Structures are given as C-alpha cells and as structure tokens.
Chain A
Amino acid sequence: MTQEALTSARMARPSLVLPRAHGYGIILVILAFMAALPLVASTYVLTLMVPFFAFAIALLGLNLLFGYTGLLSFGHAMFLAIGAYTTAAMTSKLGIMSFELILLTTVAVSVLVAIPVGFLCVRYTKIFFGMLTLAFGMLLHSFLFKFYGITGGDQGMRVLRPLLLGMEIEGGKTAYLTGPFYFYALGLLALLSFVMWRIVQSPFGLHLKAIRDNEQKAAYLGVRVARMRLYAFVISGIYGAIGGSILAISVGLADPEMAYWTQSGNLVFMTVLGGSASFAGPVVGALAFIILQDEVMSLTQYWRFVMGAILILLVIFFPRGLTGIADSIAARFRGGQ
C-alpha cells in the first residue's frame, strides 16, 4: 500500500461523516412509491415488501445507535425476536388479536428488556459494546432455542393474523399481507420514520452526535453521556421490536433464528449497504438488500457467496453505501469536487 493510499484510508472514517439533512426526502420518495406499488406490482413483489417495511423500521432504530451515536450493536436481532415472540405469544397463546394492543405490548416488553440490557451495555463503547450486545442476543437465542416448553424450541411459535383497527379481514393470508396489512405496515414505517427524523433533529439527537464525535468534550459541555446513550438504546430497541412484530406476521412464525447473531450481522450489512451516514441509508439498504437477495437467490443456490462478496467489496470500496455513492454523484453534477 502506498503512503498516499494509507493517508486516504486513514481519512475515510465513514462513521464520522455527519448524516445528511436531505435524507428524509429520499424516504418520502420511497414511501410514495410503495403506496403506489400495489397498483402495478405482482402479489409476489408485494409480499416481499412487507419484510422490507419491517427491516426498514428496525434499521432506523439500529442506525440511531450506529450512525448517530457511534455504537455498533451486534446483537440487535434480539429485539426482532422480542417483537416476534411477543406477537406470537399474544396471538396464538393468549388469543389477543388486536394489532394495536399487540404493538403496545411489544413496545412495553422491549422497553422492559432494553432498559436493564442497555444500562449494562452503554457503559462500554466500540468492540466491547458490540461484544456485550452479541452476548445478550445469543443469550436470548439459546433461551428460545433450548427451553422447548415455553418457546417451542427450534419449531418456533405460530403467529396468527391479528385484527387491524379491530376489523376482521376477509380472505386468505396473501390477500391479508398484500392488502390491508401492507398498507398498515407502510403507515407504521411512515409514522416511525417521521418520528425518528424528529428525534435526530432534536436537541437529543444533537447530544447523540456530539457524544459520537467526542465523548469527553460532550461530557465537558454537560451532556449526560450514559443517560443519552441509554435513551438511544431503548428507542432503537423499540424500533427493532416493532420491526420484529411485523416480520413475524409476514412470515407467520416466530423462530429462534431471528435472534441468532448472523441475523444481527445481516442487519448491520443492510445498514452499511444503504449507508450509515445518511438518515435514509438504512431504509435504502433494507430495500436494496431484499431486492438483491431475492434476485441472487433466484439465480443461484450459492447466494450467500455472492452476498458475502458484495459486502466485502462494499466495505473496501464504498464504505458510505448506496446513499454515499448517490451523494458523490450528485456532488459531481453540482460541479463540486
């Protein structure tokens, strides 16, 4: 490696690039596109988009920690599983079918878990934070996997279709997922992305960015570092659990693989694919990942190889992800650099 390459590599610290303000516009475009999609797209494409809404919500939460606070969680699948199993337990065990009630419970459960777990995790940063979250995620996984009597073990737990706004939906599973549930999940994504946009623009969001950029300086200026990080952890846990709830309904099953560490790895993969430095990055990343995975899987059974190779190329050549590439193209058109 030449000295020049070394210097530029040293300067390329993508997590330190400030999220761009225009990010919300991209999300609005995607939301409008998704709202119009049922008019033209096939049922298959629509069933593919429901998991996208789920991942997009979960990733918006993950990126509040990763992109904005500078904490890389490698156990975030834990919250997906919490959402999924809460939904499964309520619909198939307790017979509570109102989706609104399920969402509220999901939020409550994720907060109850995120507060103690976050309290222990946010005292550390960097690799130690990643490892501790990984350990908690795997703790939940081995509980879900091994305690057959409570969780159904590797069989998982069935998720029944809940009522939306108290209404019974006629028709089969596909009609439910591509019709009312599609729009419900899209609505949730719209709402939650707006809330997250407000969060990152708020003084609280600024605190997080200050902590990420210089923890000592932020503390010196009066930012309560640990508390702010804990809030971010809890919010991101709530988003993860809501995503997990939607995901479980679209799959019809909550299984322990949702909490496995490779799932957490995939979440981070999606975030980097879209670009962690952009507000819209995680949403773009989730969409790109789902389309890409579907395409590659239809081409070859060795799709993991292709996805792994894409991830490696991305990390080496485009660490700012798709939104980063779009940004630099836009900058070139404007005549900058």
Chain B
Amino acid sequence: MASLIDIGLGGVFHAAIIFLVAAGLQLVFGVQKIINLACGSFYALGAYFGITAIAFANSMGMSPLLVLPALVLAGFIIGLVGIPIERVLRTVYRRDESFQLLLTFGLLLMFQDVFRFFWGPTPQTLNNAYLAYGTANIFGAQVPTYNLLVILASILIALGLGAILQRTRIGRIVRATAENRDMTEALGVDSKKVFAVVFTVGCMLGTIGGALVVPAGAASLEMAVELVVEAFAVVVIGGLGSMRGAVVGALIVGLIRAVAIIVFPEAEILSIYLVVIAVLILRPAGLFGKAAA
C-alpha cells in the first residue's frame, strides 16, 4: 500500500511538471498553430536559471522555506526571453508548418550551447533544497513535502490559467484569436500583441516547470531534448491545443512512467510511445482534441 502511494505520487509529481511544459506547448499551438520544439529548451533554461537564482538568494540569506516561491519567481523572470524569441518567430507565421518546426529546432540547437556556455557540460544540482520542507507521512508512505507542494502549485497554475482563458476579457480575446485570427483582426484585435503575450506565457510555463524540477533532480544538457518528446507525447495523447487534454495526457504519461519503472524498467520510455501511437491511430485528434487531420 505504502509503495503504491509512493509510485502514484511520484508519477503525479512528474505529471505536474510536464503538465506545465505541455500547457505552454498547447497554448502556443492553439493560438499560433506552431509546434514549438524549443519548449524543452525553455524547460532546461528554467532549471539552470532556477539553480543560479537559488544559489544567489541563499548567499543573500534567504530562508530555505522560500525555495518554492523563489523558484516560481525565477521561472517567471527568465520566461521573459519569450518576448524577443517571439519577434524571431513572427517572421514565419504565414509559412508552411514544416519551416516553423525547423525554426524552433534551430532555437533548440542554439539553446543547447547557451547552456553549455553559461553552466558548463556537467549537470548542475541544487543541494539541500529538496528536503527543506521535510517529508510528509501519507498512509505510511514517506513523501517529500516539496513534491506535494509542486503538485499543488501546478494545480493552482492550471486552475488560474483556465480561469483566465474562460472568465476574463483577455482570455476571450485569446480564444477568439485561436479560433479565427483574421476575423478577430477585422474586429479590431491587435493579434500581434496577442501572439506576443501568448508565446511569452507559454514560455513562462516551461521555465517555471523547469525551475520547479531542480530541487528533485539535476539540470543537464540532455533534459531539453528529452523533455520535448515527452511533452509532445502529452499533447498527442491529450489532443493538440486542448488544456484539459494536457492535464489528462500529463497524468497518463507520468503514471505510465512511474509504473513501468517498477514493473518493466526497459519499457519505461517505450510504453509511452506505444500509447502515443495507439492514440494517434485510434483517435488522431487525441482524447480531448477537436478536429482530426
């Protein structure tokens, strides 16, 4: 029982992190119709920057209990790199999607060396932060409280994002732009501004996700390219452009991985792709997607 909870919460923690990145991917795809391969780079950027920010904050005498909010803030700040990147992306909005994909692939390559330049090739870790909040006892399983707080933070971000998209004026404009860009432009919406805001928010979701993961794991050069395929699995399973799909997809991917590691470690990654392929074949639009190809 205790180990079952252990596995389950491990999976949900992982799901909480990839949900954030996948939500960024969904938002950008929904509005700009671009699959952003650089979302993995934003994730890694958030992780590296989070480590640097916490190291700096610790040297300034920050209380260890502020690690989590400090990481969210760090992710938020570094997420602002989305603004200049969107300027570059803007040049290809009306192009064939293969070229948009390639442009973000170029960004991914460039970011790999940006990390190598600033943080070196060896993985970076954040010491002592993981257990800053101690552990919690849930039905006999010892779980780091930090994991639970991250899950909570991710749920709050998801709810906040949903509330903004569904309830506010800005959310309505964003959804309208996603639906029909030309029509909203005709109605006087500055879609350029909408795109810039959406992309930056999508980028921030990725960097916050990356920042939140560092107390539990290292920031490494591989994490960007590895996460891209995982986030991609989440959006395919959930359905491209659907936020609810991102939640469900992230939970499926997170739990499959957690279970596979215990049951059949060789198939940890393999099982995710099998699910992806099954979904693409049986329901190409994903579980919550709208239109098929």
Q: At the interface, yes or no: B170 with Cβ under 8 Å from chain A? A: no
Cβ B109 vs Cβ A125 within 8 A:
no
Q: Which of B90, B108, B113, B192 contacts A302 (CB 8 A)?
A: B113
Shortest Cβ gap from A151 to chain B (Å): 11
Q: Take A72-B98, A139-B274, A312-B88 as given contacts and tell me if A124 and B293 are in contact as well, using a CB distance cutoff of 8 Å.
A: yes
Task: Determine the distance from Cα of A302 to Cα of B236 in the docked complex, in whole angstroms.
Answer: 33
Q: Which of A6, A134, A148, A308 contacts B109 (CB 8 A)?
A: A308
Cβ A134 vs Cβ B95 within 8 A:
no
The 9 closest A-B CB pairs, nearest first, are A308-B109, A308-B110, A311-B106, A305-B113, A128-B293, A142-B269, A312-B106, A139-B273, A302-B113
Q: Mark B89-116, 1 if CB is under 8 A from A, else 0.
A: 0111111111101110111111111101
Q: Which of B93, B107, B116, B277 contacts A139 (CB 8 A)?
A: B277
Cβ B109 vs Cβ A304 within 8 A:
yes
Cβ A6 vs Cβ B277 within 8 A:
no
Considering only CB atoms and an 8 Å cut-off, how many residues of chain B contact the other chain?
Answer: 50
Task: Determine the distance from Cα of A302 to Cα of B114 in the docked complex, in whole angstroms.
Answer: 8
Cβ A316 vs Cβ B277 within 8 A:
no
Q: At the interface, yes or no: B153 with Cβ under 8 Å from chain A? A: no
Task: Determine the distance from Cα of A268 to Cα of B97 in the docked complex, in whole angstroms.
Answer: 13
Task: Determine the distance from Cα of A306 to Cα of B287 in the docked complex, in whole angstroms.
Answer: 39
Q: Which of A125, A132, A260, A269 contacts B102 (CB 8 A)?
A: A269
The CB with the most chain B CB atoms within 10 A, among A6, A128, A147, is that of: A128
Cβ B110 vs Cβ A15 within 8 A:
no
Q: At the interface, yes or no: B117 with Cβ under 8 Å from chain A? A: yes
Q: Which of B106, B268, B277 contacts A308 (CB 8 A)?
A: B106
Q: Take A308-B108, A308-B109, A316-B103 as given contacts and tell me if A10 and B266 are in contact as well, using a CB distance cutoff of 8 Å.
A: no
Q: At the interface, yes or no: A13 with Cβ under 8 Å from chain B? A: yes
Task: Determine the distance from Cα of A9 to Cα of B293 in the docked complex, in whole angstroms.
Answer: 24
Q: At the interface, yes or no: B35 with Cβ under 8 Å from chain A? A: yes
Q: Which residues of B contact A (CB under 8 A)?
A: 35, 37, 88, 90-99, 101-103, 105-114, 116-117, 192, 225, 228-229, 232-233, 236, 240, 265-270, 273-274, 276-277, 280-281, 284, 293
Cβ A146 vs Cβ B267 within 8 A:
yes
Given A146-B268, A308-B105, A312-B110, 17 extra CB contacts under 8 A: A15-B98, A72-B98, A126-B293, A127-B35, A127-B97, A128-B280, A135-B277, A260-B225, A261-B228, A301-B116, A302-B113, A304-B112, A305-B117, A308-B107, A308-B112, A311-B105, A311-B106
Chain A contacts of B97 at CB under 8 A?
126-127
Q: Mark A244-257, 1 if CB is under 8 A from B, else 0.
A: 00000000000000
Chain A contacts of B236 at CB under 8 A?
131, 135
Shortest Cβ gap from A294 to chain B (Å): 16
Which chain B residue shows the least CB distance to A117?
B277
Q: Which of B37, B96, B192, B280 contacts A132 (CB 8 A)?
A: B280
Shortest Cβ gap from A314 to chain B (Å): 8
Chain B contacts of A305 at CB under 8 A?
109-110, 112-114, 117
Chain A contacts of B265 at CB under 8 A?
146
Q: Take A14-B99, A127-B293 as given contacts and tell me if A147 and B266 are in contact as well, using a CB distance cutoff of 8 Å.
A: yes
Q: Take A146-B267, A311-B105 as given contacts and tell me if A14 and B273 are in contact as well, using a CB distance cutoff of 8 Å.
A: no
Considering only CB atoms and an 8 Å cut-off, how many residues of chain A contact the other chain?
Answer: 53
Shortest Cβ gap from B35 to chain A (Å): 6
| A20-79 with Cβ < 8 A to chain B | 66, 72, 74
Task: Determine the distance from Cα of A148 to Cα of B105 in the docked complex, in whole angstroms.
Answer: 30
Task: Determine the distance from Cα of A1 to Cα of B94 in the docked complex, in whole angstroms.
Answer: 11
Chain A contacts of B103 at CB under 8 A?
311-312, 315-316
Cβ A125 vs Cβ B293 within 8 A:
yes
Selected A-B contacts with CB under 8 Å, 24 pairs: A1-B91, A9-B92, A10-B94, A13-B96, A66-B98, A72-B101, A74-B101, A124-B284, A128-B293, A131-B232, A132-B281, A143-B270, A146-B265, A146-B270, A301-B116, A302-B116, A308-B108, A309-B110, A310-B106, A311-B106, A312-B88, A315-B92, A315-B99, A316-B103
Task: Determine the distance from Cα of A268 to Cα of B96 in the docked complex, in whole angstroms.
Answer: 14
Task: Determine the distance from Cα of A263 to Cα of B16 in the docked complex, in whole angstroms.
Answer: 29
Q: At the interface, yes or no: A120 with Cβ under 8 Å from chain B? A: yes
Task: Determine the distance from Cα of A147 to Cα of B111 in the docked complex, in whole angstroms.
Answer: 31
Task: Determine the distance from Cα of A260 to Cα of B222 in the docked complex, in whole angstroms.
Answer: 12
